[in-house]
Amino acid sequence: MHPSEEIKFEKSRKLEGKRICLCITSSAACIEAFYLCRELIRHGADVDVFMSEEATKLIHPNLMEFASGKKPVVELSGYTEHVSLCRKGCCDAVVVCPCTANTISKIALGIADNAVTSCVLTAIGSKVPVIVVPAMHLSLMKNDSVEENIERLKEMGCIIVEPRIEGERAKIADRETIIENVIRCVREGDLEGKKILIIGGASAEKIDDIRVLTNRSSGKFAIELVRECFERGAYVELWHGWMREKVPDYVKSREFESVEDLLKMIDDCKNFDFIFVCAALSNYIPEPMDGKIPSNIRGLTLDLRVAPRLIDKLREIVGEERIIAFKAEEKEEDLIKKAKEMSRVFHMVVGNLTSSFGSDRTKIWIFKDGDVLEKEDKKDKLAELIIDKLGG
Ligand SMILES: Cc1cc2nc3c(=O)[nH]c(=O)nc-3n(C[C@H](O)[C@H](O)[C@H](O)COP(=O)(O)O)c2cc1C
């Protein structure tokens, strides 16, 4: 067994049975191609590697053979690898990562003068999705011809995974962003055309200039919902409070701290088809004090007022039919009673227990159209179930 087989399905089966052509060109970021290849396999993909000759001067094909379990194609042979491996029916997606300014421009002009460009042009010609991940110095990226050629690639139907601009560099997108784009390409896009907003994380209410009142919400459910909706083709935004989980780069995100900060953003909710409110928002707000409350006060009392309820304002602005409300309670019977009551009003209600905050696994109750579905599983699987139940 080749060593690359040992890691197959380590992360998921989302790319099971999918063949991906990974095309590597000669950017300094090509060292990332090794890790990307392994990550694709961890999600279950079969990977065929194509390398430009220039790329082989930066990383050796042996490394990519170790990563993928197959000899990389560096030069086309009588086997016509660009046709036999890259056309529809043989390949599910082509990922050009990293993609140099040179290769971007060649693809835009329809030049097929090496293994990589021949693979990409064949894929475009036979309607196989092509994902291009540019990486270069910013001065190259901002060159008029390169900018125009990137636009041309978009017109040709290529998905451009935008680089992270840091100082003078247009750095390769992070690995998670590239993987999520590959999965989105090959998964059934049943949410295509839908605009979905996920509001998650914990609010933090100011006590004084350095202290806040917050809660134990990790934001994990919000992240799993973002991932599921993105992979299924939706336009997704994440509005988040404090998160223990990493905020993903692959969707637009906006940050809030307090409930009142979030309320100031609420008018922008009108643009979405569905709004998931799974944030843990404070029910009480302290009267904030200037400076730092001295640390030696005995029996300090905080005055708390009741916080405005986001969900009530949201109902006024977008109507109940677009809202998916989350309800957390300590006791199962209270939860079921309250969530059932709420489900008479909202598109869908998801109930969970406060004991699940921060954990990977939990039990939920989904209330929709008078039915209730109870399920215990990992949060990623539950997110999939929630989206299955979403309906039109
Ligand atoms: C060490 C090194 C790093 C490079 N990094 C980049 C890069 O990040 N982006 C880029 O567009 N070109 C980069 N280049 C220039 C390309 O390698 C050069 O344009 C080459 O002709 C591209 O060939 P290819 O597109 O066939 O791989 C780099 C060159 C070297 C030697």
Residue range 189-206: average pLDDT?
Answer: 97
- Ligand 1 center from residue 275 Cα (angstroms): 43
Q: Which atom of ligand 1 is nearest to the CA of 29?
A: 8
Percent of the residues in the chain that have a pLDDT greater than 70, as a whole number: 99
CATH class of 195-390: alpha beta
Q: Is the pLDDT of residue 288 over 90?
A: no
Q: How many CA atoms lie within 13 A of 187 on its CB side?
A: 23
Q: What are phi and psi of 128, to 5 degrees?
A: -85, 135
Q: Is the pLDDT of residue 219 over 70?
A: yes
pLDDT, position 29: 98
Q: Ligand 1 in contact with 118 (CB < 6 A)? A: no
Match 């953003």 to its residue by tokens. Answer: 265
Q: Per residue in 41-65, pLDDT tens?
A: 999 999 999 999 999 999 999 999 9
- Ligand 1 center from residue 212 Cα (angstroms): 48
Domain boundaries, the chain: 3-186, 195-390
- Helix (H) or strand (E) segment spanning residue 152: helix 144-155
| CA dihedral of 74, 75, 77, 82, whole degrees rounded to 10 | 70
Q: Per residue in 80-119, pLDDT tens?
A: 999 999 999 999 999 999 999 999 999 999 999 999 999 9
103-109: which pairs have CB atoms within 8 A and are 24 or more residues apart?
103/25, 103/52, 104/132, 104/134, 104/146, 104/149, 104/150, 104/153, 105/145, 105/146, 105/149, 107/132, 107/149, 107/153, 107/156, 107/158, 108/148, 108/149, 108/150, 108/152, 108/153, 108/156, 109/149
Q: Is the pLDDT of residue 122 over 70?
A: yes
Topology (CATH level 3) of domain 3-186: Rossmann fold (3.40.50)
Distance of CA 107 to the CA centre of its chain: 27
pLDDT, position 370: 87
- Ligand 1 center from residue 309 Cα (angstroms): 54
Tell me the pLDDT of the chain averaged across its residues. Answer: 95
Q: Per residue in 336-376, pLDDT tens?
A: 999 999 999 999 999 988 887 767 888 999 999 889 999 99
Least confident interval from 133-137, 311-315, 326-330, 351-355: 351-355
Q: How many CA atoms lie within 13 A of 379 on its CB side?
A: 18
Q: Which atom of ligand 1 is nearest to the CA of 100?
A: 11
pLDDT band at 392 (very low <50, low <70, confident <90, very high): low
Name the closest-CA residue to atom 1, ligand 1.
28
pLDDT, position 58: 98
Residue range 275-287: average pLDDT?
Answer: 96
Q: Ligand 1 in contact with 103 (CB < 6 A)? A: yes
Q: Which atom of ligand 1 is nearest to the CA of 140?
A: 11
Same fold, 3-186 and 195-390: yes
pLDDT, position 159: 98
The answer to whether 351 and 374 are in contact (CB under 8 A) is no
- DSSP strand pairing (361-368 vs 371-378): antiparallel
DSSP letters for 339-379:
HHHHHTTSSEEEEEEGGGTT-SEEEEEEEETTEEEEEEEEH
